[in-house]
């Protein structure tokens, strides 16, 4: 859809990859990076050597450290920073936002403390109405999409026309977006699957195989759907790309930062030791606590999320947590 101007704020793995998708779909794209050397490498070297080494970026994509320049005249503003830093980043960017631009969240997390979804944070900080805010979520491991391996995704927005406009702006021969009106369900699916991917990684690190992973995926989906329905989501969303699709991809792939993080915890490293091994964002580590808070506030049982919180933040050994969840009261499926 040529003619669309997009600003992508956040030049990490997914922000850079999605900027490439938009450019390949015909948009003119400006990517905002924090470091001048990274912006120069992207604009002049056509590569993001820190996050996507070896991937050639299209000519229609340029990068800048100047957020005002990136946002000038943008029809779509894409937010691709870590969930816990969105509020602070947006406070700086809000005065620069074009008044009618669609605000599209790529983030998969829940805010610590407030337990807000990213679209809620966006509405609160910018004052935009909910019909202007959309979220993109699905089985979208950045590296595979940057390599143009075929994948599908969901653009969720309560305003169907706006969702369709974003869909057209990012549809390429390798990236197939569907629309969905269920913003709550899509955002929740993306945030909770990171927590379940940590659990799958922990199981992998403890030496367990496919039965354990399949059990975690299936029961993880059950608790995601329970929580989502309590928050007003559509049950069908959890059987779709932003639910089951993303859960399967993230829980199974060695490319997932959350799964990899969990694997190291499962091998016995402490949270601090694992954090020291990576610069990239494993959202589930911080989001597991607010997901649990949200579930408790709505009286929803989320035993796997609770187990991940205990292992990550309460210092309980994975073996002890495993014994506890396997000996919970037996019940019908
Ligand atoms: N990488 C992936 O495969 C996918 C990631 N996502 C989601 O997209 C969001 C962004 O993830 P990635 O691009 O992968 O993260 P990343 O860790 O690769 O990059 C984060 C980017 O945000 C910038 N940033 C701005 N303010 C920051 C702050 N205060 N602290 C740290 N970084 C800051 C960093 O400079 C960096 O460019 C996350 O919510 C993630 O769950 C969603 C789908 C796929
Ligand atoms: O959200 C993702 C795939 O859809 C990426 O997962 P990780 O953040 O665990 O790498």
* Domain residue ranges of the chain, discontinuous segments joined by +: 5-181, 184-326
Give yes or no for residue 165 CB within 6 A of ligand 2.
no
Which atom of ligand 1 approaches the CA of 279 most closely? 17
121-161 pLDDT tens trace: 999 999 999 999 999 999 999 999 999 999 999 999 999 99
Question: What is this model's ipTM?
Answer: 0.98
Of 10-19, 73-82, 178-187, 270-279, the range with the lowest mean pLDDT is 270-279
237-283 pLDDT tens trace: 999 999 999 999 999 999 999 999 999 999 999 999 999 998 888 99
Task: Compute the distance from residue 140 Cα to the ligand 2 centre, in Å.
Answer: 7
Q: Is 286 a catalytic residue?
A: no
Annotated binding site for sn-glycerol 3-phosphate: 108, 138, 193, 246, 256-258
Query: Residue 278: its pLDDT value, please?
Result: 86
How would CATH label the architecture of 5-181? 3-Layer(aba) Sandwich (3.40)
Annotated binding site for NAD(+): 10-15, 142, 257
How much is the average pLDDT of 173-181?
Answer: 98
Task: Compute the distance from residue 128 Cα to the ligand 2 centre, in Å.
Answer: 27
Share of the chain above pLDDT 90, in %: 98
Query: Residue 281: its pLDDT value, please?
Result: 82
Query: Residue 2: its pLDDT value, please?
Result: 60
Q: Which residues pair with 64 in a beta bridge?
A: 32
30-51 pLDDT tens trace: 999 999 999 999 999 999 999 9
Query: Residue 280: its pLDDT value, please?
Result: 82
Give yes or no for residue 250 CB within 6 A of ligand 2.
yes
Query: Residue 72: its pLDDT value, please?
Result: 98
Task: Compute the distance from residue 281 Cα to the ligand 1 centre, in Å.
Answer: 6
pLDDT at 1 over 60: no
Q: To test the ligand 1 pocket, which listed residue (135, 193, 278, 281) has its Cβ within 8 A of the most ligand atoms?
A: 281
Q: How is domain 184-326 classified at the CATH fold level?
A: 1.10.1040
User: What's the chain's average pLDDT?
Assistant: 97
Share of the chain above pLDDT 70, in %: 99
Which atom of ligand 2 approaches the CA of 246 most closely? 4
């Amino acid at each position: 859809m040529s003619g669309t101007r997009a600003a992508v704020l956040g030049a990490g793995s997914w922000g850079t990859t999605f900027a490439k998708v938009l450019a390949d779909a015909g948009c003119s794209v400006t990517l905002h990076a924090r470091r001048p050397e990274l912006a120069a490498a992207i604009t002049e070297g056509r590569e993001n050597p820190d996050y996507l080494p070896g991937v050639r970026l299209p000519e229609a994509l340029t990068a800048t450290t100047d957020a005002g320049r990136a946002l000038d005249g943008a029809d779509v503003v894409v937010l691709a920073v870590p969930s816990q830093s969105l509020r602070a980043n947006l406070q700086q960017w809000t005065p620069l936002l074009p008044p009618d631009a669609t605000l599209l969240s790529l983030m998969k997390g829940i805010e610590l403390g407030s337990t807000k979804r990213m679209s809620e944070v966006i509405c609160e900080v910018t004052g935009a109405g909910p019909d202007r805010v959309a979220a993109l979520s699905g089985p979208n491991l950045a590296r595979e999409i940057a390599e143009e391996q075929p994948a599908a995704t969901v653009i969720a927005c309560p305003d169907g026309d706006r969702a369709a406009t974003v869909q057209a702006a990012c549809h390429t021969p390798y990236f197939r977006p569907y629309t969905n009106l269920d913003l709550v369900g899509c955002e929740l699916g993306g945030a909770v699957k990171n927590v379940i991917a940590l659990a799958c990684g922990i199981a992998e690190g403890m030496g367990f195989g496919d039965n354990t992973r399949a059990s975690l995926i299936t029961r993880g989906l059950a608790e995601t759907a329970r929580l989502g329905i309590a928050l007003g989501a559509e049950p069908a969303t959890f059987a779709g790309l932003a639910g089951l699709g993303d859960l399967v991809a993230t829980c199974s792939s060695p490319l997932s930062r959350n799964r990899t993080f969990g694997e190291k915890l499962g091998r016995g490293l402490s949270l601090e030791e694992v954090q020291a091994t990576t610069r990239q964002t494993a959202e589930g580590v911080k989001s597991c606590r607010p997901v649990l808070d949200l579930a408790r506030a709505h009286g929803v049982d989320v035993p796997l999320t609770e187990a991940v919180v205990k292992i990550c933040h309460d210092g309980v050994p994975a073996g002890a947590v495993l014994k506890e969840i396997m000996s919970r009261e037996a019940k019908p499926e």
